[in-house]
Amino acid sequence: MGNIDQEVVNKVIKIVKKKKIDFPESYVNDIAEACIRRELTDKELETLIVRVKKAYERSKVESGEAIGTVAAQSVGEPGTQMTMNTFHYAGVVELNVTLGLPRLIEIVDARKTISTPTMAIYFDEDHKFDEEFAKKTASKIAKITINNVLDDDLHIDYGQMNVEVIISQEKIKEKHLDFDEIVSKLEAKLKKHTFEIEDNKITIAPKVDKRTKNGIQIRDIRLLVDKIRHFQISGVKDVNRVIIRKDEQWVLHTEGSNLKAVLKMEGIDKEKTTTNHIHEIYTVLGIEAARNAIIKEALHTLDEQGLSVDIRHVMLVADMMTADGSVKSIGRHGISGTKSSVLARAAFEETGKHLLNASIRGEVDELTGIIENIIIGQPIPLGTGSVGIKMKNN
């Protein structure tokens, strides 16, 4: 949409203003785009606008419409047709991403930890096509442990009671690492150990502590081996693997997500880079971004299963979840649990708790919602129930 001729857009806006039509912005853009594509004459453009206006007015929602229920049904009903199969290869063959019903549930639950967080990292103008840079960034983000850069395997010398770590020069070069840096990091981690360095061979031995009478046990050595093996020498926290892909430009796909840290890195397109972790987007970018992320993720999950759901329904769900400035889940801990009506809450879940609490707090149910009115047997304030007829006094 970015490259629509501003002139045409202004022309459309002018006509729209002249006709006193109230179009949303996207309509103006769409019309302008169609105008260019189909090469409309001014007169044609005008008739088009008039016709669109007619269609637009005809298709507006009526007041009182129970759009909430319709949206909920439209999002929920396809759930029955979705697969349970958790993992699917989405776009990137090398990555597993939760999809289908479990993912949709995860989204509406507003989980703080999701089962397969993943990021798509894009680069800015200068580095879009820079393979070297992409690889360098990838190695900076990816989690690398000592295990990944070993030449062969760790050698345990039970006679000397030490561990030999032989680092492969090739591997560290490939991963843009520095040998000395690794050593210093290791030393910082294992402060009470003695280090011997010989070319690319590091020999680590636990220091004999005066308090440990029995000297170093084999067990200690083995624990040390594990410690060394899984020692992280590089990478961003919470990100495990990084996969480099070239679509139109270089893109990094990650397993694990840490938006905050990645956005701070250099050469990254801060607008395009995203994560599928909604709560992270909320904490880093704010509530509006979280709302858009919910829409994007939910819609993508549904689309992927070949189920078409109008974006407006998903928008309403997202807006309800984010209405008060924080991401609230759909369920007893979120929206349903914070409803104003006692009866509505009691009718959903945790009946006893809500009734007892209401009694000591002296809550008053104003009966403005749907279930409350159904419970007491009155017409509901929705649709035809939201209007009344008053007779004129004669």
Partner 1 sequence: MRSVLKQISQIAFGLMSPENIREMSVRRIETPDTYDEDGYPIERGLMDPHLGVIDPSLKCKTCGSKGGDCQGHFGSIELSRPVLHVGFGDTIYKILQSTCNKCGRILFTEGEIEAYTARINEIRESGESLTKFIKEIYKEAKVVDRCPYCDEEQEEIKIDKPVSIMEGGYKLTPSEIREKLESITDEDSLLLGVNPEVARPEWMVLTVLPVPPVTVRPSITLETGERSEDDLTHKLVDILRINQRLIENMEAGAPQLIVEDLWELLQYHVTTYFDNEASGIPPARHRSKRPLKTLTQRLKGKEGRFRSNLSGKRVNFSARTVISPDPNISINEVGVPETIAKEVTVPVHVNEWNIEEMKEYIKNGSDIHPGANYVIRLDERKIRIYDETKEAILEKLEPGYIVERHLKDGDIVLFNRQPSLHRMSMMAHEVKILPYKTFRLNLCVCPPYNADFDGDEMNMHVFQTDESRAEAKSLMRVQEHILSPRFGGPIIGAIHDHISGAYLLTRKSSIFTEEQAFQIIKKAKMAIPKRKDSDWTGKELFSLLLPDKLNMQYKAEICKKCDKCLGKDCSYDAYVVIEDGELIAGVIDEKAYGSFSGKILDKIMKEYGSDRARQFLDESTSLAISGIMKVGITTSTHDENIPEEAKERIQDHLNSAERKVDQLVEAYENDELEALPGRSLEETLEMKIMQVLGEARDKSGEIAESYFGMDNHSVIMATTGARASMLNLTQISACVGQQSVRGGRIDRGYIERTLPHFKKNELGAKARGFVHSSYKEGLNPIEFYFHAMGGREGLVDTAIRTAQSGYMQRRLVNALQDISVKDNGMVTDNRGLIIQTMFGEDGVDPAKSDYGKAADLDKIIDEMRVK
Site for partner 1 in 371-390 (CB under 8 A): 371, 374-376, 378, 381-384, 386
> Which residue is associated with the tokens 């549904």?
302
Q: Does 115 bind partner 1 (CB under 8 A)?
A: no
CA 161 and chain centroid, separation = 48
Does residue 41 bind partner 1 (CB under 8 A)?
A: no
The reply to whether 104 sits near partner 1 by the rule CB under 8 A is yes
Q: Report the residue number, 183 or 367, with the smaller CB distance to partner 1.
A: 367
Question: Is the Cβ of residue 196 or residue 319 nearer to partner 1 in the bound state?
Answer: 319
Whose CA is closest to 343, among 322, 364, 314?
364
Taking CB under 8 A as the rule, does residue 297 contact partner 1? no
Q: How far is CA 212 from the centre of its chain?
A: 49
By CB under 8 A, name the one of 48, 154, 197, 284 that touches partner 1. Answer: 48
User: Of residues 1, 61, 188, 391, which one binds partner 1 by CB under 8 A?
Assistant: 61
Is residue 75 a contact residue for partner 1 (CB under 8 A)? Answer: yes
Rounded to a whole number of angstroms, the minimum distance from the CB of residue 215 to partner 1 is: 39
Distance CA 16, CA 36 (A): 17
The yes or no reply on residue 268 touching partner 1 (CB under 8 A) is no
Query: What contacts 255, CB < 8 A, 6 or more positions away?
Result: 95, 116, 117, 118, 239, 240, 241, 242, 243
How many residues bind partner 1 (CB under 8 A)? The answer is: 113
320 lines the binding site for partner 1 (CB under 8 A): yes
Give the Cα separation of 259 and 269 in Å (integer). 12
Interface region with partner 1, contact rule CB under 8 A, candidates 154-162, 186-194, 235-243, 281-289: 235-243
- Which range, of 117-125, 218-226, 279-287, 340-348, touches partner 1 by CB under 8 A? 340-348
- Our CB check for partner 1 shows the closer of 218 and 311 to be 311
Long-range contacts of 218-226 (CB under 8 A, 24+ apart): 218/158, 221/156, 221/158, 221/161, 221/162, 221/163, 222/156, 224/163, 224/190, 224/193, 225/154, 225/156, 225/163
One-letter amino acid at 257 equals S
Among 27, 133, 195, 231, binds partner 1 (CB under 8 A): 27
- Residue 68 structure tokens: 């909430």
Residue 20 DSSP symbol: T
